Structure 1
């Protein structure tokens, strides 16, 4: 077989050349009621029911890595011969989470030997990088730079497509407002606008110049829908929210992803108001395909169709298959239920053949859009695979992304940046020398980053490497014999302590919800002992969620939220500690004052008894008896090495009519001695509406560079459509009235405040 097959090799039987001539060059999946190329319908007409069910069956790859196998429950590698035979028999649409380009070629060869020669799809969980690992998505969202997310997704697509991968199960666009939920690490945080912009950017980055391009990776925004609203932040748990909340909070990031060109989506694990998402026809048929005119396909999450039985929604596998399929889930992932049961369901009339053909048509159109009918081997190039991995420019991008993802919460007495020489530094904590956790969760294919530990990077940056003493002090969740004593000795002999603590990667991700979102007790004891020495402390927090900081961790002189930064973690942190770069990230999630405060998010409703002065804890107003109804560090908060001031707010005549715009201007000053990048945020509040509105809503943001002693002007534009909400009839509406407006450095900062009138 030639290395690169063409369309002429793909279809057998009379008339095949005529069919092939009807495949449009560069064809893309339609986004409206565009027609399907004729060759697809003619191909469907030649398929058996079993072959159709095969096109709706996606299974784990024989070549899945140990990390990929561990990422899913009960995943077993099938026999090589069985997977090859399934491909030859047309019983497989593709495989996922393999990274061996040679195995991909073997499988595609087998598919090309099948009766109809329909090419296979190769999918993978490329969540935040491939062989080069970028910061976890929550961290990258802290950059408030959609363009950065677009660049890292593009780099990941180039690496992954080089080993034959066509499709990634990313981005995760679930809005997450409960810090207990472990999967918040995969998304963009608590805010709808930031979520929309990051979703759009990541889809554009993955898909590049178009799905048919050889280095494109088809995006799959997930999980549809409202997975981030799981009760108590418990993974897979029940979700029961209003339709208004769905439309205002949980749907918009998906809509942005689809507008950006995503043509696949994944069903959520959770039930939604009593109906599991995988069996929810309202979600897929009414909303997605009916109201939104979505023309793409829906894939189940891992065994999500079989799980309808455990939900108590289906009686057995056959019933689960019927309900998931008729709800609108096109592809079954891993369970094998569609292959096992769809033929008999069609034979009995429980599933109409026309409905089966619709799903097969969507899958084949997707494969055609990816260019697989034209060139099934275009991404399977063994000689190219290694040449695309971990290029110097990709690693540099990882370092830049890591620097831009770090958030400085506090920096009392301008402790940071540290001098590169002349100071004795004690680096203490379980993350000091660690490289096992820097990638964070959902890293299935990362390369060797054993040299990217923080200790090595700090030594390389210091004028006198011997001035750095490194002590682990404790494990992540356990004491070390003599660890605290050794840490205290090092801290006592140092001029400054860098305390590298936090969560290990295993505390975040799927099935990793936490009841107590604090620093583990062993590390809190380590912090207490080091703090008792009186040496100034810089805390570097490793985390995949918002944390409730307590005691000596909360009270450290300086605190940086470093998340899980990926392949260039150590060098990026050294750049920031020693002032080679300035922190510019902002919190995409609010840090609560105590674990019992969650779920906490800035865009909450005011209640009928709001506390106008939260710090005073006024009686009979909305607050807990022991803490204010406010965050410890709010959404949008983050400091720089500059000293930033805002002034000069100008909103013109403070009126917005039906067809006009409201132009908002402000001036940003850097009165410090270090260059800075400031994230300027625009918030509004609708004071009176027929449906109560949040206390603040983010409507725009700008990241601007300001040189020392310099100033820059920032301009925003508000339009009537920016003020829409879902009214009593669940239709998008806007009502005249008075609106508060803030240009501010965070969701709780006063910043610059004004009011304007929306005219009727």
Structure 2
């Protein structure tokens, strides 16, 4: 293990006849091909071509646990001889000195406050050594508390449910230093689309398909969290949305498993600051295992063939270095017939371990206290959001009903992860000055770029871009015109601080630059009506009753009203999930889809309307032609739980023969063409120009 320099000297035995050598190192990069399969940790960069048998980097290498390198000897004739792969680790922490009662002894934090540095406190020791030493010092109670949240009330707990205001988070982190062994917690919350700066949801990003940008968004969130010592996030989702009406399809990566996989590689690598968890990482929590996009939170319905499709983004996340996976509420009729939800199903969790080869942490979703013992015994390591003070629950009962070997197994993973994050040596952020580095202009620009690239122009009869004269009038109307919250869900705790512009406000500001007047709902002689419609913000259940998959009558009436007056209509559609739009598709002169586009949705959409940039977003799902394409034939289904074939992509209006072809492609591990079925708008629809 290299611990004394960020520029380690590499050396190797010479090879006779060599003209020069090539040195290849798996340094962290920002230009990975995220669409390509394979472990990011196994990707190498040529860093030098020396003639001798030594090389010292000319730049500082960052902390990481798995550096791999090899040398190629190149002869004068061009013959190449490749060495074995060698490895080293690098960890040179900035030991934090905060008034928390922990002294610095021999350059390390004396966490147990006994005046000497034990192996677990010594950052110079390997992670495995530190983990084993600490586990051996812990009581059963201290171990069990590591599996629980709510460190705010129970300082021995392993996890903090964030986000929290910077000063509050700092106070919680400091309070844990007073515990017997000084084990720090990890703060993680539902910051699924940014910590301070809110970017588009994954389904919107799937419309943009800009994976390097997805990486930069994850990296931006990482930097904002590190400012104040938040070290985790309950995201991203490795879900493919094949159930049209599943409410949380808005959080997943669209209908295309390969797009979702590329997005997961990019976001995990961005959040974790490289191809593995390291001291500069924010811990990504990949969810919801084993793929709720195939049926929803009530039950997953894939079989031995179609499960392969839904595993693609989970495998990609692991390839990118994900070491925390959250099982969802849903059970699986295939993996555990008649069994419980994934978090407390041994069969479903065993599939993750044995069939996928996953060795990292498993954190449950927010299960009731009565399920925690079963979840732990099934193989879950952390009880997500679990409060040890819950009514009817006792830690003593948990310790008595969960075998010690199972607790040790879980806590070993937890401690190893915490050592890899470096929080024993640098547990805090900067609660005073860190917030001033939040939400920088460059971060807002990234969110704006992501919204622009996601926005999708479905149709245009020549009314866009807006080409009106100074003094002309526009009317902006519709249920979403003044709804600043529809841009986002699980939005940043701090999102309201930055006052995102509503569509009306953003259009009015942009129109003013052209001398065009904007009126709300009605105005004198309008040359154009912009009608903002769609579904307001929601999380687990849709905002519309029984997951109604079409515009409510009052929203449709606004579109119809302007059309009846002969006023050209641009519909700006907030589209968190596929809905039926056939009843008004013909009324609209142009349709702009904004999805859940983040805090810059308003300005980005206004810019599109006025031609500030060319549209490029593409639909991440098919749009149904009619409700009949969504409901199963025979009348046994209801809108609330319906989709004609929950586990298949591109199947709206598909024939039985087409569905058989889709299944055959999935079974063979081949890409599935996106042209099946008979939807109103196919997957990938969207104009990339104005005509």
TM-score (norm 1): 0.68
Question: Quick one: which of 479, 501, 519 aligns to 1:470?
Answer: 519
- The answer to whether residue 232 in structure 2 is matched with residue 167 in structure 1 is yes
- Asked if the contact 2:473/2:519 (under 8 Å) is kept, the reply is no
Distance 1:297 1:222, change over 3 A: same
Aligned to 1:433: 482
Secondary structure in structure 1 of the residue aligned to 2:109: helix
Aligned to 1:261: 321
Distance 1:18 1:356, change over 3 A: closer
Aligned to 2:110: 9
Aligned to 1:647: none
Q: How does 1:540-689 map to 2 (within 5 A)?
A: 540-598=572-630, 599=643, 602-604=649-651, 608=656, 630-641=678-689
- Asked if the contact 1:537/1:558 (under 8 Å) is kept, the reply is yes
Alpha-carbon distance in 2 for matches of 1:136, 1:324: 29
Alpha-carbon distance in 2 for matches of 1:238, 1:293: 24
Secondary structure in structure 2 of the residue aligned to 1:265: strand
- Asked if the contact 1:184/1:509 (under 8 Å) is kept, the reply is no
- The answer to whether residue 422 in structure 2 is matched with residue 390 in structure 1 is no
- The answer to whether residue 205 in structure 2 is matched with residue 140 in structure 1 is yes
- Asked if the contact 2:269/2:276 (under 8 Å) is kept, the reply is no
Distance 1:8 1:212, change over 3 A: farther
CA positional deviation for 1:451 = 5.5
Question: Quick one: which of 207, 211, 236 aligns to 2:297?
Answer: 236
- The answer to whether residue 145 in structure 2 is matched with residue 54 in structure 1 is yes
- Asked if the contact 1:587/1:635 (under 8 Å) is kept, the reply is yes
- The answer to whether residue 449 in structure 2 is matched with residue 419 in structure 1 is no
Q: Describe the superposition over 1:312-331 as per-residue Cα deviations: whole angstroms up to 9, x where unpaired.
A: xxxxx3xx333211211001
Aligned to 1:299: 363
CA positional deviation for 1:582 = 0.8
Question: Quick one: which of 307, 310, 326 aligns to 2:377?
Answer: 326
Alpha-carbon distance in 1 for matches of 2:195, 2:516: 36
Secondary structure in structure 1 of the residue aligned to 2:433: helix
- Asked if the contact 1:459/1:465 (under 8 Å) is kept, the reply is no
Question: Quick one: which of 289, 297, 306 aligns to 2:353?
Answer: 289
- Asked if the contact 2:363/2:383 (under 8 Å) is kept, the reply is yes
Question: Quick one: which of 219, 244, 248 aligns to 1:179?
Answer: 244
Aligned to 1:37: 128
- Asked if the contact 2:173/2:427 (under 8 Å) is kept, the reply is yes
Alpha-carbon distance in 2 for matches of 1:529, 1:420: 22
Alpha-carbon distance in 2 for matches of 1:2, 1:516: 54
Distance 1:608 1:261, change over 3 A: closer
- Asked if the contact 2:364/2:383 (under 8 Å) is kept, the reply is yes
Secondary structure in structure 2 of the residue aligned to 1:228: coil
Distance 1:448 1:22, change over 3 A: closer
- The answer to whether residue 451 in structure 2 is matched with residue 402 in structure 1 is yes
Alpha-carbon distance in 1 for matches of 2:435, 2:395: 40
Distance 1:137 1:608, change over 3 A: closer
CA RMSD of aligned residues (A): 2.8
Alpha-carbon distance in 1 for matches of 2:600, 2:658: 45
Q: Describe the superposition over 1:384-411 as per-residue Cα deviations: whole angstroms up to 9, x where unpaired.
A: 3212211011111111111111111111
- The answer to whether residue 116 in structure 2 is matched with residue 20 in structure 1 is no
- Asked if the contact 1:136/1:566 (under 8 Å) is kept, the reply is yes
Distance 1:370 1:464, change over 3 A: closer
Aligned to 2:23: none
CA positional deviation for 1:9 = 2.1
- Asked if the contact 1:440/1:565 (under 8 Å) is kept, the reply is no
Alpha-carbon distance in 2 for matches of 1:322, 1:570: 46
CA positional deviation for 1:421 = 2.9
Aligned to 2:281: 216
- Asked if the contact 2:536/2:543 (under 8 Å) is kept, the reply is no
CA positional deviation for 1:147 = 1.4
Alpha-carbon distance in 2 for matches of 1:590, 1:338: 46
Q: How does 1:144-159 map to 2 (within 5 A)?
A: 144-159=209-224
Alpha-carbon distance in 2 for matches of 1:219, 1:226: 17
Question: Quick one: which of 386, 399, 402 aligns to 1:335?
Answer: 386
- Asked if the contact 1:142/1:585 (under 8 Å) is kept, the reply is yes
- Asked if the contact 1:543/1:563 (under 8 Å) is kept, the reply is yes
- The answer to whether residue 527 in structure 2 is matched with residue 495 in structure 1 is yes
Aligned to 2:38: none
Q: Which moved more, 1:2-11 or 1:545-554?
A: 2-11
Secondary structure in structure 2 of the residue aligned to 1:448: helix
Alpha-carbon distance in 1 for matches of 2:503, 2:487: 10
Alpha-carbon distance in 1 for matches of 2:514, 2:98: 56
CA positional deviation for 1:642 = 5.5
CA positional deviation for 1:12 = 4.6
- Asked if the contact 1:411/1:559 (under 8 Å) is kept, the reply is yes
Alpha-carbon distance in 1 for matches of 2:599, 2:305: 41
CA positional deviation for 1:280 = 1.7
Secondary structure in structure 2 of the residue aligned to 1:200: helix
- Asked if the contact 2:254/2:621 (under 8 Å) is kept, the reply is yes
CA positional deviation for 1:559 = 0.6
Distance 1:520 1:12, change over 3 A: same
CA positional deviation for 1:188 = 0.8
Q: How does 1:451-466 map to 2 (within 5 A)?
A: 452-462=501-511
Aligned to 2:195: 130
Secondary structure in structure 1 of the residue aligned to 2:531: strand
Alpha-carbon distance in 2 for matches of 1:463, 1:106: 47
Which ranges of structure 1 fall in alignment gaps of 5 or more residues? Answer: 28-35, 63-82, 307-316, 473-486, 613-627, 644-760
CA positional deviation for 1:517 = 0.9
- Asked if the contact 2:286/2:317 (under 8 Å) is kept, the reply is yes
Alpha-carbon distance in 1 for matches of 2:279, 2:541: 31
CA positional deviation for 1:512 = 5.2
Alpha-carbon distance in 1 for matches of 2:542, 2:526: 40
Alpha-carbon distance in 2 for matches of 1:46, 1:511: 48
Distance 1:373 1:269, change over 3 A: same
- Asked if the contact 1:211/1:218 (under 8 Å) is kept, the reply is no
Aligned to 2:53: none
Secondary structure in structure 2 of the residue aligned to 1:123: strand
Aligned to 2:425: 374
CA positional deviation for 1:550 = 3.2
Distance 1:441 1:357, change over 3 A: closer
Alpha-carbon distance in 1 for matches of 2:98, 2:115: 22
TM-score (norm 2): 0.74
Secondary structure in structure 2 of the residue aligned to 1:410: strand
Alpha-carbon distance in 1 for matches of 2:123, 2:501: 52
- Asked if the contact 2:119/2:129 (under 8 Å) is kept, the reply is no
CA positional deviation for 1:509 = 4.6
Alpha-carbon distance in 2 for matches of 1:3, 1:596: 65
- Asked if the contact 2:563/2:587 (under 8 Å) is kept, the reply is no
